[in-house]
Amino acid sequence: MKPFDYIRPATLAEAVTEAARPGSAYLAGGTNMLDLMKVGAAAPERLVDITRLPGLDAVEWLPDGGVRIGALVRNSDLAYDARFAASFPMVAEALLSGASAQLRNAATVGGNLMQRTRCAYFQDPASACNRRESGSGCDARDGENRMHAVLGFTEHCIAVHASDFCVPLVALGAEVEVESSDGKRTIPIDELHLLPGDTPQMETALRRGELITGVKLPAGAAAFSGHARYLKLRERTSYAFAVVSAAAALQIEDGRIAEARIALGGVAAKPWRAAEAEASLVGIEPSQPAFARAGEIALASAHPSGANAFKIELARRIVTRVLTRALEGTPERMPALPGSPFAARPDKTSGVAHV
């Protein structure tokens, strides 16, 4: 690991001033940052430890029914917050499908949003990677790329964003609160992560020194709580990144879909909102053919970036399945295997269901 300076500011104002200096990076849970520093994919000259900043670790309910989640709230604390999980069940399910219990205890809300891609070539300093080093090339294109993007990629970068948490957040229209010495602003989460274009080194809309201070979910997002699921296909049952994942939420009125939300994970450099697929469902009676059509629409512009054509069909089916699960209704208790296609069904006496 390259040597660095460590500072631990006591106030937000001090932190954002320090972080505006070139070569600085924020440290919160450290679960991604320290890992990248160990392998040499990140080499900040100074770490600004924000874990002691006051006022960033609360889940705060707003008068209108929305919620503001402080950036330093730990993933496990948010997922196990009973009121939060009841109001936004697919967010809790996504959180619990990610990483391990130890990592969820350390990882923070803000850090989850800022996590870097798990592309092996990004993580290996000996490989060419336009995202890590602008203009160096992309070794993933002719490498091991079965896990890579099928939507929104370019010849410059085919990496995917690995977050589970961000997928339902995008579906529910969350807003990201950021602060710097220039002041505060709010960014819709769909605009936080950038597609690679010809500048894959620009990963987010944050400006130098800007710090995520919180994430807001609008009051309307809780209206989906009865029909909201997250489904994540992995190469092992637990503790793995998504091959593909999807969040789906429905509002059913008089037997028809009044509103639908769909987003996909593991398919692009950002959590992928499928707005046209959502629109195809509004006003109709829910049915398997309608859900399958939504899956087709969500992946209409997809194509392989390498040896990953299988992910396109997989993603269509995951969309169809997660819509089916959402229609069945949010389970009263979090499934034993959150987000898993193999989760046991609490309404059945035995066995697992491939729903």
In this structure, are residues 219 and 65 in contact, taking their beta carbons and an 8 Å threshold? yes
Residue 342, classified by CB atoms within 10 Å of its CB into exposed (0-12), middle (13-18) or buried (19+), is: middle
Q: Select from 223, 252, 290, 344 the one that contacts another protein (CB under 8 A).
A: 344
In this structure, are residues 184 and 121 in contact, taking their beta carbons and an 8 Å threshold? no
- DSSP letter at 156? T
- Under the binding rule (CB under 8 A), the answer on residue 21 touching another protein is no
> Which residue's CB is nearer to another protein, number 31 or number 213?
31
Give CA–CA dist 73/105, Å, rounded. Answer: 10
**What stretches of 113-174 adopt beta strand conformation (E)?**
none
> Which residue's CB is nearer to another protein, number 57 or number 259?
57
Question: Min. distance of Cβ 237 from another protein in angstroms?
Answer: 8
Binding to another protein in span 126-145, by CB under 8 A: none
> Which residue's CB is nearer to another protein, number 105 or number 201?
105
Spatial neighbors of 155 by CB under 8 A, at least 6 apart, are 138, 141
Q: Select from 5, 276, 285, 313 the one that contacts another protein (CB under 8 A).
A: 5
**Beta-bridge mates of residue 176:** 187, 215
- Under the binding rule (CB under 8 A), the answer on residue 6 touching another protein is yes
Q: Select from 25, 43, 59, 106 the one that contacts another protein (CB under 8 A).
A: 106
> Which residue's CB is nearer to another protein, number 279 or number 353?
353
Residue type, 157: C
Q: Which stretch binds another protein (CB under 8 A): 33-41, 136-144, 161-169, 303-311?
A: 33-41
In this structure, are residues 231 and 322 in contact, taking their beta carbons and an 8 Å threshold? yes
> Which residue's CB is nearer to another protein, number 33 or number 298?
33
| Angle at 111 (CA atoms; ends 39, 228), nearest 5 degrees | 125
**Beta-bridge mates of residue 185:** 178
> Which residue's CB is nearer to another protein, number 51 or number 324?
51
Question: Min. distance of Cβ 218 from another protein in angstroms?
Answer: 28
- Under the binding rule (CB under 8 A), the answer on residue 147 touching another protein is no
- Under the binding rule (CB under 8 A), the answer on residue 347 touching another protein is no
Q: Select from 238, 287, 288, 301 the one that contacts another protein (CB under 8 A).
A: 238
Give CA–CA dist 205/197, Å, rounded. Answer: 14
Distance of alpha carbon 34 from the chain centroid: 20
Q: Which stretch binds another protein (CB under 8 A): 17-25, 102-110, 111-119, 252-260?
A: 102-110
Contacts 24+ apart (CB under 8 A), 222-225: 222/65, 222/87, 222/88, 223/251, 223/259, 224/90, 224/172, 224/249, 224/250, 224/251, 224/259, 224/261, 225/86, 225/87, 225/88, 225/89, 225/330
Question: Min. distance of Cβ 10 from another protein in angstroms?
Answer: 12
β 59-61/67-70 pair status: antiparallel
**Hey, what are 232's tokens?**
């994540």
- Under the binding rule (CB under 8 A), the answer on residue 4 touching another protein is yes
**Binding marks (x or -) toward another protein, 41..80, rule CB under 8 A?**
------x-x-x------------------------x---x
Q: Select from 16, 18, 26, 31 the one that contacts another protein (CB under 8 A).
A: 31
Contacts with another protein by CB under 8 A: the residue count is: 33
> Which residue's CB is nearer to another protein, number 51 or number 154?
51
> Which residue's CB is nearer to another protein, number 74 or number 156?
74
- Under the binding rule (CB under 8 A), the answer on residue 102 touching another protein is yes
Give CA–CA dist 179/81, Å, rounded. Answer: 26
Q: Which stretch binds another protein (CB under 8 A): 11-19, 34-42, 108-116, 255-263?
A: 34-42
Residues that bind another protein (CB under 8 A): 1, 3-6, 8, 27, 29-31, 34-35, 38-39, 47, 49, 51, 76, 80, 99-103, 105-106, 237-239, 336-338, 344
